Structures are given as structure tokens and as C-alpha cells.
Chain A
Amino acid sequence: MNAFSFSRVLDFFRGKAITIPPMDGALRPNSALDDAIALAHIPAPDNLVSSDQRTLFSSGKSLYELGTQGGEPAAIAHFDSEIAALAACPDGGLGLALDDGRILLLDGSLKVLSTIPAIGPEKLFCPTALLFADKDTLLVVQGSSHVRPSQWARDLLELGCSGSLWRIDLRTGNHEALLKGLAWPNGIAAGANGAVVVSESWKHRLVEIANRRTCTLLDKLPGYPGRLSPASGSGFWLALFAPRNRLLEFVLGENDYRRIMIAEVDPRFWIAPALSSGIDFREPLQCGGVKTMGVHKPWSPTRSYGLLVRLDADFQPVASYHSRANGTRHGITSALDLDGRVLAASRGGNSIIELTAGAKKP
């Protein structure tokens, strides 16, 4: 606290600048996501998984199957709460987390086998991603100990750091917290040698957890990392669901302003990252985002962005696919690699897209 106040004193004289990492190197912007083919248009698609030769995804409270020959996606199951996360079990079943905190285990015919209820705020409350380590072990990350998955923006604005990683033994029902105090863990993948890799959104980084020790694999990302999914060959796909924004990072330090905004303003109109933006006139606007002479500058500061990153086996970025400030395929929340065919769910752009061959090699 002392160091903080001292720097505030210095800031008075020199003006402390807020900076965010540039999109450069493998993260050089392009318009690959906007150029991609749309496979389906559906409100807020999320959670692409491949289960038993079928491609499934969620949209709101429903589970959909993507048509194989370009047909419309078909709803195959409905639930009484929004679907927060999906994972395919090696035995052909599905793990499915709901916004109210429950986790359902389904078999191949989508029959509910068992339910892991929300068991108190200290344990399961906010499942944001699931991973079957094997058919009897489920890894769960929970974003926060007190807000629901759909309220992620509130957790960010409240500087949340109460996420955790859990291992659930499906045979015995034992729960074990592997790690606590994470800043909205939001994606999970199996790393090398039994390690678990988690994306920690509010700290813009990927951490590896092995034997209760953590190390940072990748940090200073220009966006908020979300779901991780394995890529064909080796490596992973990382969906960054929203961009970092200097105004937001400034607001995170303005406690008074932030408190009033959270209390008085509809969350849709907060200064907060979003999955899509520029739709309603009550949304905040930044100077650079002003449309001038009919042009919305693609590099302008924005609350939403589309960014999908290909990571190598060491979790370092090698390629990226963008939809910039003036694009529409924003809020990429998950990706699925089907032997080289890469699908992505643009939750903000209400579409499921397939990266074209041309776009694949930037």
C-alpha cells in the first residue's frame, strides 16, 4: 500500500502511463476471422466439443449438434440453466456444467447419469471449464467463489481473485482443490507429463500446475485468455474472448468510479470487456472509436475483439486469427480442431465459423 501511494505521488509530476502489450510477432493483426466461412448463425454459440464423431456446442440453455453437410444445427437437449461448459468424456459421454453451478454427467445418448450439485460457495459455484483427465476423473476450474459464470464482467471489475482448480473422482465423489486464489481461471488443458494448464483470464496468462507447483507458461497477453483445446498434430488453440483495453485498466484503479458504476449501471453498459460491442448507444465509447468519414478504425480501442491463437506444444503462440475493432466475429470463446479442420465459436458474432485454408497460414 505504501509503495502504491508513493507512486501516486510521483504520478502527480510525471503522469503514469497505462500500457498494454502490443499485438505483434505471432499476434500480428489480420482479418482471418472475418474472412472465415460461417457454418451456422445462432445466438451466442459456445463450447464446441467433439463427442463420438458428433460436433456439439451450446447456445443459451440448449445443446446443439452441428449439421454435417452444412445443414442447420439441431437442438438435441435443453436444460433449465445456461450451459457454462462442456467436455467430452473418453468413454463417449459428456460433462456439462450449468450456470447455476451444477455439473451433469451424460452418457452417449445424452441421458443424465449423475449430477454433481453446487456444493457451497467454497467449492463448486462457478464452473467455467471442464476436462476429463480420464474417464473417472474430472477436472473443473471455477472462475470465482461468488459470481456465476455469466457474470464474469462483475468479477473482473471487482478485481476478483477467488478462482480455483478442482479434481473430482467420479467413482468416489471425492473433491479436491488443487489450487486456489486464481484470477478467473477460464480454460483448462492437459499439459505434458500429467500437468494441468489453466488460463487465468484476469492476469492475462497461462499457468501450469504440476504436483501443486505452478509456473507461468505464457503471460502479457493482449487479451483475456479463455478456453484451451488441443490442436491436431501438437499444440493448442487458445481463444481470447475479449481484448485488453487501457481505459478499462485505468478504471480498475478508480475504485470510487468503479463502485458507482457497478451499483448504478446496467452491466451491458459498463466500461468492461464484452463479447460484442457498438450495438447499443448506451455503451461506452472511446475517442479512437469514433467513426470518422464513415470509417471505424480497425486499430481503435474496443471493448470486444475476435482473437484465436495457435499455441505450440510449449504453449507459445505461433499464429493468430483476428477480427478487429471494425469486424463482427468478436468474442471467440472456443475452438475445435477436427483433424485440421478448425471451427471456432464467435459468441459475440453469433456464428460458428470454419477457418479457411487461406486464412490458416498467415
Chain B
Amino acid sequence: MALSESLARLRYKYIPDHLIGEILSKRWADNLVPLLFLLLTVAGLGSFIPNFFTIQSLSDASRQLGEFSIVVIGLTIVMLGGGIDLSVGAIFGLTAFAAVSVVYIFAMPIWLAFLAAVGVGALAGAFNGFLIGYLRLRAFLTTLVTFIILRAIFDILVVDHAAEIQLSDVSSPTWDFIGDGTILNLPVSFVAAIVVAIIAHIFLTRLRPGWHILAVGGSRRSAYNAGIAVRRTIFMSYVISGVCCGIAGFLIAARLSGVGPGTGAGLEIMALTAAVVGGNSLGGGRGSIAKGLMGAVVVLVLTNGLIRLGFNSGANQMVLGVVLALAVILDVRWLKNRHKMLAKVYVAPIYAKMDASRSAAPDSGSPYALNDRLANTEFIGLGELEGPEDVILDNDDHLYCGTRHGDVVRYFAPDYKRHEVFAHTGGFPLGLAFDRDGALKVCVGAMGLYSITPDKEVSRLSAETNRSRLSVIDDARLRDPNDCDIAPDGRIFFTDSTTRYDAHDWALDSIEARPTGRILCYDPRTGKTRTVLDRLTYANGVCMAHDGQSFFFAESWACRVSRYWFDGPKAGTVEIVIKDMPGYPDNINRASDGRYWMAWLGMRTPSFDIALRKPGMRRRMTRRLPQDDWLFPNINQGGVVKFDENGEISDVLGNLGGLSHPMVTSMREHKGYLYVGGILNNRIGRYKLDGADPAWTSNRSYWGAKS
């Protein structure tokens, strides 16, 4: 092996590329960029500025942070509802004035000052909400107008009453406590912010009106169609924002014991920057309170840091503007390209060297040499069936198969011309097995393991297994249950082919070649499912051996068949039975002569085998080419192979050119005939086996003469 190839093998073995895609597919991935930015800002400024992290400095900062983050929370809620509120600074100033005037001018109690501040805030918010929600004006212009009007009112009031306030001799310990005091060493305003944040978080994530706001922001039309009162919801979001400004205004009034012309100036741009930098989408619907808070910390740290570095306030504003612009660009690009990016980075191929196989060429003379015998089959359901992955026959010789429409279809003996939908499961029914009582166990792709009684009653047996500790994606859920078989004691062993792809994307897993397949065991006595074997390379067919203590299983992309003992003296051991086949194995079933049938869903090609040694090439291929152009294994030609317990190949049935059965994913021997199914085929083949026992059925082989 060349050095570069050894390096590639090590690199792809130890660097988990697939995690990028898995993390990006998580909803919480949206938080990563703002969090990173936050850490960078804090670390960067902290190392530049001496005493940045002293108690005094932090206490000042946290007091500011309290008021500021409450404003940001309000703005975040408006933005989540798809709006924007530019008037927060003006409302903030006005409410602060309201609180101050109640305390100093009218010498009224503090709680009244609080109510006045909140009331003024709610009123201003209601004004915004009425115009935007009910009259459906543009949020941007409306709140800009509100901002101008309220700011003007504030300026007039401040000029008129500043002296009066300053000369007032009212003093109140409560008022001073709110302004300067601490609870558990935390400034009051900071505690207030925590309380508001918790309430707002619960409101958004756990309560109906909060969900409504998110729904309206996500898609106004859909929310309307779902029966949500869109106008009222929008109105409410502005009122909430106003109330938040009121609380914050009250707090700053207490802290400063007064108001000045500068109170709340420029706050809207800071709050907006905070909300967007935190990762709340300007388009609405995406975001959270936590993101708003993260943004608030970033902005405050940034502005305070810049001031302490000696920048003047103009530079400060400019930095904020630049940060806002960057955040908006990132937000827009991210939202627009997230799915595209995920699709591009999700496929993370690994190095997988396939060892040379014996040839399957018709003239090669090897035991695998393909022939064209499967071309001579009768067709069942030609043109009616779509996607019979597995086929099975019952004791009355009726034929069952799944279809890609989510049905289990029954063809009636003896001529298999008539059919009915036996049951509808949804998903994509794949592997089938009859149990002792004649109930059909079905692996339903993308759903789980199901059971259908002879009375056509469908019930779910299993849809999850134990979650492994170190997986990013939720590997408890079954993504691609593929084939099942039943042990003599009724336990059902079934495969979940991959944890990385959904059932319909099964072929993409071949490009990745990452071993994530599993064999699971459903125990009917406990109703529990647990993982028996994992890290299999597309675990596919399962078939009980004739000894009743072990089963054979196929790993498609590894071209390998192994045997696992679940009972008896060798319990828990795995042995490879056949390796390095020229075809990709699929389902395995019993044959009448004590051997086993195995389906080949496709054939190895030299070009794909080399590609498996070139993970970088495969990765670039998935990024630069549309999926239709990707190199695949040759799944346009398959076959059926018979093998014994020692792995000796005794028979091969092929279809050269793949005109009758391009892909073979299953076969079932029944009374001297072989029934052949394929997941991408539109027919089932019925092939007369020469010399096979004409009375043998699979059910009798499993459950004895009784059934």
C-alpha cells in the first residue's frame, strides 16, 4: 500500500468527519456561531484590558447588563414574531421618566412608579402593536415613527422637569436598594433580568401564546391557516416588548436616580445588534431568549471594552454597526444555505479497501460465475407492484410482499393473478417473516418492527433501541430496519442498516461506507429492544441457521456474510462465513436442501472499489456533482447465490443485462419454486427449481409440520 494511502486510511479512521454533518443537522447548531463569537469577544477584550474581570468592573457591567438584556428580551420576542421594534430606546427613556416623575415629582410610592413605568411601556407597545398588528402597517416604518414621536415627547418632558426632579428631596430606601442593592451578591437589576428571562423562556417554549408567536414568525400564512389569531399575536408581541422596556426603564431610573437627555439614546441599535448577533433570525420564527442574552453580553462587553480601550463613542457606534452588518449577512446566508450546506457536508466517506474477489464473470469458471437463468422467470404483478423488497409465502401458498407505497400486498394462489392490500403500514415494508402463530413480522423502513396478524391487524413491536452514549445523532431510533428473522423462542432478530441515512437514501450509505449498521433483538416477553451487534457495514439480511442457536447476517457494503451465535456453547461469538464476494449481499433465507439462499442486490465494479480507497475523491464528488451523477456500485445487476454453513457456493442464478430482474434483494423458496423480489423492481419473479423438494416450505422448516 502506498504511503499516501496508509495516511489516508489513518486520517479517515481517526478524524470523525461525519460529526460535522451530524452537528449541523441539530437545531442547537444555530447557537454555535454566536457562542463562539461571545467567547472570542470576552477572551479577546479580557486579555487586552487590565482589570477587565475585577469584581468592581463585573458588578458595574452586570448592573448595565440587567437593564439592557431585559430590553433585548422584549425585542427578541418581537423579532421571533417576525417584526422589529426600533422604538425600544424611546420607550425605555419615557418609562424611566415616568418612574422618576412618580417618585420625585409626585412623591408617590415605589410600586406605583413601577406600575407607571410598565404601564407607559405597555401603552407605547400597544400603540405599535395596534398599527402593525391590526392596521398591518410596516413594522420598520411604524416603530421608527413611534421612536421619533416618543423621543420628542421625552425630550420636551426632560427639559421641562429636569430641575424639578433634581431639586426634589424625596428619599426612599427601597428605591435606593433597587438602584444600588444586591441580592446574593448580585445586583437587583441583574436578578430581575434573570427572572424576566426565565419567564420569557417558559412563555416562548412552553406556553401556547409563545408558540403562537413563533408560528406567526415562522410562517404568517401557515399560522393563519392553522387558526392562530395572527393579528392579536403580533399586537401582543409589541405589548410584551413595551412592558420589557418599562421594567428596564424602571430599573435604570432607580439606578441613576433620575433621567437625562441621553437616557436610552442609541439603545435601539444596541438592542437590535444584540438580538441579531445572538443568532435570532431577522425573518422571524428562529431564535430563542438564550440567543438574545448571548447577544446582549457580546454587545455590552464589546461597548464597555471599547470605551475602556479609549475609543470614543463614535468609534463605538461604528463597531456596533459593523458587527450588526456582519451578523445580518451571516444570518441571511446561513438561513438560505443551511440545508444546502448540510446536504453537501453530510456525506462523509471513509477509507474502505475492498480485497480482491473471485470473479463473477460468466466465463471465469469461478463458483460465482453468473449466468442468465433468472431471465427465465414468470412475472408476478408486473407493472402493478412497486418495490417488493422481500417476498414470503404462507401455508396456503399466498404470496406477500411490501411495496414502496407502504402496503403489504397479498397475491392469491395458485396463479398469483389476483391481489389485495393485506395491510397498510406506511413507511416502506422491507423484510418479512412468519412467526409460529402465522403473524407476519415486518421490518418497515424508516419506522420500525411491526406485526400483522392473520386478521390484518397491524401493531408496532419496536421503534427504538438503547441509545449509545457517544453518538451525536439519536441512534435510539430505527432509521432503516431492513430484514428480520425469528428464533425458535420467539425473539426477533432484525437489522437496522445504518444510523446515518433514512431508508430511501440507503444507496448513499454505500458512498460513505461507514460501518453504522446494527443487529437488534426484540424480545416479545419484555417488549424491549436492545442492540446485539453494532458497527456493521450496512447490516442487511438475517436468517436463522438450521441449528436454532445462531443466525447468518449479511453486510452489504462489506460483501461479507457472518454468523452469530445467540444461544448454545458458542453464544456471543461472530464468525465470518463468506468474505470478499463479487456482489453485495442482501437478504438470506433457508433452502430446501439445508443450505441457504442469498440475494445479491448489485455487483462490485473496479471503478467503485478504487473509489472506496479514495475517500477524498468521494467527498469531492458528493460536493461538486449532483446526486444523479455520483458513482454508485452497480446495482443494475444482481443475482441469487446458494451457500452452505461452511461458506461453500453451490449455485448461482443471475440475470445478465438485468432486463428481467435488475436488482435482487430477496428470494424465498417454496414448494419447488424460487420467488425473487427486488426493491427497485416492478415485479416478482417465479423460477422453477430443478430437483428441489416440491413439498418443502420455509414455514415448515421453521415451525414444524404443525403449521
What is A's interface to B at a CB cutoff of 8 Å? 11, 15-18, 245-247, 250, 254, 256-257, 260-261, 264-266, 269-271, 278-294, 300-301
A-B contact pairs, 24 of them (CB 8 A): A17-B624, A18-B624, A18-B625, A247-B625, A247-B629, A247-B631, A250-B621, A254-B614, A260-B613, A260-B614, A261-B606, A266-B606, A269-B607, A270-B607, A281-B360, A281-B605, A281-B656, A282-B605, A282-B634, A285-B636, A287-B629, A291-B680, A294-B383, A301-B628
**Residue among B361, B387, B608, B680 making CB contact with A284, cutoff 8 Å:** B608
**Residue among B617, B629, B636 making CB contact with A257, cutoff 8 Å:** B617
B680-A290 in contact (CB<8A):
yes
Q: Among the listed stretches B279-287, B393-401, B453-461, B657-665, which one makes contact with chain A, having 4 or more residues with CB under 8 Å of it? A: B657-665
Considering only residues 598-614 of chain B, those with a C-beta below 8 Å from chain A are 603-608, 610-611, 613-614
Give Cα A15 to B370, complex, Å: 41
B621-A261 in contact (CB<8A):
no
A265-B610 in contact (CB<8A):
yes
Give Cα A102 to B171, complex, Å: 113
B142 within 8 A of A: no
Residues from chain B with a CB closer than 8 A to the CB of A16 are 624
Which of B4, B617, B627 has the most chain A CB within a 10 Å cutoff? B617
Instruction: Answer whether A288 and B635 are a contact pair too, CB < 8 Å, given A18-B624, A256-B614, A265-B610.
Output: no
Secondary structure at chain B's binding surface: helix, strand, loop or mixed? Answer: loop
Give Cα A261 to B614, complex, Å: 11
What is B's interface to A at a CB cutoff of 8 Å? 4, 344, 360-361, 370, 383, 386-387, 507, 603-608, 610-611, 613-614, 617, 620-621, 623-637, 656-658, 662-663, 680-683
**Residue among B386, B627, B633, B657 making CB contact with A285, cutoff 8 Å:** B633
Secondary structure at chain A's binding surface: helix, strand, loop or mixed? Answer: loop
Residues from chain A with a CB closer than 8 A to the CB of B620 are 250, 254
A281-B603 in contact (CB<8A):
yes
Residues from chain A with a CB closer than 8 A to the CB of B604 are 282
Other than A282-B634, A290-B632, give 7 A-B pairs with Cβ distance below 8 A.
Answer: A250-B621, A256-B617, A260-B613, A279-B657, A283-B634, A285-B633, A290-B635
Give Cα A250 to B621, complex, Å: 7
**Residue among A246, A265, A270 making CB contact with B625, cutoff 8 Å:** A246
Residues from chain B with a CB closer than 8 A to the CB of A283 are 605, 634
Instruction: Answer whether A15 and B605 are a contact pair too, CB < 8 Å, given A245-B629, A278-B636.
Output: no
Q: Which residue of A lies closest to B634 (CB)?
A: A285
Closest 4 A-B residue pairs measured CB to CB? A288-B628, A281-B603, A293-B682, A284-B607
Residues from chain A with a CB closer than 8 A to the CB of B631 are 247, 271, 284-286
**Residue among A11, A261, A285 making CB contact with B610, cutoff 8 Å:** A261
**Residue among A18, A264, A287 making CB contact with B606, cutoff 8 Å:** A264
Instruction: Answer whether A293 and B617 are a contact pair too, CB < 8 Å, given A281-B634, A286-B628, A286-B630.
Output: no
Give Cα A175 to B540, complex, Å: 65
Instruction: Answer whether A278 and B657 are a contact pair too, CB < 8 Å, given A283-B605, A286-B629.
Output: yes
Shortest Cβ distance from A263 into chain B, in angstroms? 10
Give Cα A281 to B655, complex, Å: 10
Shortest Cβ distance from B362 into chain A, in angstroms? 10
Give Cα A11 to B616, complex, Å: 14
Give Cα A22 to B478, complex, Å: 41
B605-A284 in contact (CB<8A):
yes
Shortest Cβ distance from B343 into chain A, in angstroms? 10
